[in-house]
Amino acid sequence: MVNRDSQGEPPRDLAVSAVDWTEAPDLVPYPEAVQTMERRVQGIREGSAREWVWLVEHAPLYTAGTSADPSELLDANKLPVFQTGRGGRYTYHGPGQRIAYVMLDLGARGRDLRHYISNLEQWIIDTLETFGIRSDRREGRIGIWVDHNGQEKKIAALGVRVRHWVTFHGIAINVDPDLRQYQGIVPCGIADHGVTSMAELGVSVNMAEVDAALKAVFSGIFGGGVSG
């Protein structure tokens, strides 16, 4: 779930200010997204750019995290597969899934990676609660889970990378994606439980409504306010 690059540098004595916030209007190619995050992370580290939350959707694809097991790619020909530097295993991204790439400076936020992950999880939980969806963590399992028709299913995933205490990659919430695409992988290495979406749970919302909820909840958890 987490990949940490070298963290050996002195703490940064910075005040937490407003976080830039952008919703991409179109599908973003995955390599372009990674390059954009890399540039922004470098700028944040150097002090030339502000922290940033970037909300995107991708065309259908699979990503392989640093712990990905090739045996969990069940259909290598189904969709494009991208190796990525985030922690975790295989996951699916596609239209109808809200991805939030989160670039925060933990060097100015206490250098507590475990607390950061907990905040990401709570951000998802509180956002889903806005729409009447009760979700939670599950011991020993990555992601955010719901009970649906007597089954535990994952509704959101996390995958994080940290470079010199600046975060990137982030979270993915299933709003209304094509859940059949998950059949090509073992999602996050968990074969015994299914994947669901807000739509499958009977909650019909558009992406703008989800974005507004994410934005409204963000500051109360991470502080600093949002800009944009």
Give the whole-angstrom CA distance, residue 225 versus residue 19.
6
What pLDDT score does 48 carry?
95
Interval 18-31: pLDDT, tens: 899 999 999 999 99
Full residue range of the structural domain in which residue 152 is found? 2-227
Q: How far from the centroid of its chain's Cα atoms is residue 20's Cα? A: 17
Q: Residue 2 — pLDDT band, cuts 50, 70, 90? A: low
What pLDDT score does 15 carry?
47
Torsion angle, CA of 99/100/103/106, rounded to 10 degrees? -120
Q: What residues act catalytically?
A: 188
Interval 33-74: pLDDT, tens: 999 999 999 999 999 999 999 999 999 999 988 888 888 899
| 14 pLDDT higher than 50 | no
What pLDDT score does 125 carry?
98
What pLDDT score does 30 carry?
96
Q: What is the CATH number of the domain that holds 72?
A: 3.30.930.10
Phi and psi at residue 106, in whole multiples of 5°? -70, -15
Interval 105-126: pLDDT, tens: 999 999 999 999 999 999 999 9
Interval 138-182: pLDDT, tens: 988 889 999 988 889 999 999 999 999 999 999 999 999 999 999
Section 102-107 average pLDDT: 96
Number of domains in the chain: 1
Give the whole-angstrom CA distance, residue 202 versus residue 216.
22
What pLDDT score does 123 carry?
98
What pLDDT score does 189 carry?
61
Q: Report helix, strand and coil shares of the chain as percent, to nearest 5.
A: 30, 30, 40
Half-sphere CA count of 131, side-chain side, radius 13 A: 24
Q: Return the SS3 of 54.
A: strand
What pLDDT score does 13 carry?
45
Q: How many helices and strands (H and E) does the chain possess?
A: 3, 13
